[in-house]
Structure 1
Amino acid sequence: MIPPPKWAHLPFFSQEFEVISAAIETDQRRVLPPTQQRFEALNLTPPNEVRVVILGQDPYPTPGHAHGLAFSVETDISPLPRSLNNIFKEMHDDLGEVPHDGNLRFWAAQGVLLLNTVLTVPAGEANGHKSLGWQSLTFQVLQHASQRPTAFLLWGKQAQTLARYISSPKTVANVSTDHLLIKTAHPSPLSARRGFFGSRPFSRINKWLADRGEPKINWTTA
């Protein structure tokens, strides 16, 4: 694995990365996503372009699904994973339309960091790498993204426990310096009806961006 160049300054890459890489190399199971895609989220959304952070748990454990972006899948995947299907249901209720497929790379290109808290998973074993230490990278990314006003989508209790790593942004004259934190239930089928559905996160983020004089996110059209 090659560290993402624009994020390689984070302490994680000089302190924990080598140990994690060695553990993955000796894992006899098939590890997802493919090696070249494990830092896809960070490569597609450099630090100075992050406007929105959406946190996932770990990659999809189904071979062919995970490609390095939280909740996203490759273009040809059908049916969609259930959490992503619920995200699109909420988006349709919120915005009236949804993307044609589950590939969310076009969100990343607009400054939406789709980051899993654990970046690898053994095929068929959800949470199988939760103890490797990837979370240290997530903590540092959140702290770095906090340096300027950012919208954070914290879906589910696990993501919400990471809110403590989101600090107050730096002061910028004449511009609102508050983050937007949206905390709801996770979009999984087990919890989506406990507060995810009806939360309208996409329009809320776009209103916040517009109020700041920033371009809105095009959530629906690649």
Structure 2
Amino acid sequence: MSHIDTSHIHYSWMPYIRQALEENLPRIEREIGAEFLPPAENVFAALSMPLEDVRVLIVGQDPYPTPGHAMGLSFSTRSGVPAPRSLKNIYAELGDDLGIPGRADGDLRAWFEQGVLLLNRVLTVAPGQAGSHRRLGWEAITEAAIRALAGRDIVAILWGRDAQACQAFLPGTECITSPHPSPLSARRGFFGSRPFSRANAALEARGVPAVDWRL
């Protein structure tokens, strides 16, 4: 058993995800064993944010598989870890969209602290094996969390087909979609999509304060 730490999940999520946790987490823990990323205490880091604080949802796929990189928030790395290629492309679009420079590292906690929920669909990965923990039950847990946001005054930013499948869980929610920022697809429509300014415009149209995207 891996004994994933659930103590960091804010209580406001529990009415929405408790059943999915009870039905799926025991199997996940059996299947993944003791070798997984991020560290057990960071697996549910994204859901430490109170539900009512969420302004923007950015959906990722699964954690970075390089040891020392993943820290529980989608696309973000630990402080001091150089930004991976997809995140470098996100920084490039941030600069083109709002004139804001990125960082040398991949630490996105400044966004998270403003209500930008950086949530992966799959919350663990085997070291060095991207996608290795798909279809073990994580998707049911994160689907329940995403459904909890439906109809609220939030904006969802969904990059790539996997993330865009979450539109089905978000009726009545403004969704900004584009190809994924990975080097394989960024030039097929991610660059030039202006997700940051569009998200702020959508928030302000709902009377919700804009996000300061500076890092």
Identity, in percent, stands at 46
Retained in 2: the 8 A contact 1:98–1:219? no
Q: Which runs of 5+ in 1 are unaligned?
A: 169-178
Aligned mates of 1:64, 1:85 — CA distance in 2: 18
Of 11, 15, 27, 1:19 maps to 27
Cα distance in structure 2, aligned partners of 1:94 and 1:189: 18
Listed one character per residue, the Cα deviations across residues 87-140 of structure 1 (whole Å, up to 9, x for unaligned) are 000000001113433211121111111000000000100001112110001211
2:117 aligned to 106, 113, 119, which one? 113
How far apart are the structure 1 equivalents of 2:64 and 2:106? 13
How many angstroms apart in 2 are the aligned matches of 1:55 and 1:98? 22
Q: For residue 8 of structure 1, what is the aligned residue in structure 2?
A: 14
Q: More deviation in 131-140 or 205-214?
A: 205-214
Question: Displacement of 1:5 after TM fit?
Answer: 3.5
> Paired residue for 2:54?
50
SS of 2:71's equivalent in the other structure is coil
2:45 to 23, 35, 40: 40
Using the size of structure 2 for normalisation, the TM-score is: 0.91
Note the C-alpha offset of 1:57: 0.5
Q: What TM-score does the superposition give when structure 1 sets the normalisation length?
A: 0.88
Q: Following superposition of structure 1 onto structure 2, how do residues 177-196 of structure 1 map, counting pairs within 5 Å?
A: 179-196=173-190
- 2:89 equivalent to 1:89: no
CA shift for structure 1 position 20: 1.4
**Candidates 61, 69, 80, aligned match of 2:73:** 69
Q: Distance in 2 between matches of 1:57 and 1:180?
A: 20
Q: Which amino acid aligns with 1:39?
A: F
1:147 offset after TM fit, Å? 3.4
Counterpart of 2:36 in structure 1 is 31
Give the SS at the match of 2:131. Answer: coil
2:130 paired with 1:122? no
Say if 2:38 and 2:124, in contact at 8 Å, map to a contact too. Answer: yes
Out of 192, 196, 202, which is 1:198 matched to? 192
Deviations 1:36-94 (A, max 9, x none): 10011111x2211111110100000011110000000112112x100000000000000
Distance 1:70 1:14 in 2: 23
* RMSD value, Cα: 1.4
- How many Å separate the matches in 2 of 1:185 and 1:121? 23
Q: How many angstroms apart in 2 are the aligned matches of 1:109 and 1:121? A: 24
Alpha-carbon distance between aligned partners in 2 of 1:158 and 1:75, rounded to the nearest angstrom: 27
What SS class does the counterpart of residue 139 from structure 1 fall into? helix
Q: 2: distance between equivalents of 1:212 and 1:130? A: 35
* C-alpha distance in 1 between matches for 2:78 and 2:139: 24
Quote the Cα distance in structure 2 between the aligned partners of 1:220 and 1:132.
Answer: 36
How many residue pairs end up in the alignment? 206
The residue matched to 2:118 in structure 1 has which SS?
A: strand
Question: What is the distance in 2 between the residues matched to 1:105 and 1:146?
Answer: 24
Per-residue deviation, 1:22:
2.7
Structure 2 stretches lacking a partner, 5+ long: none
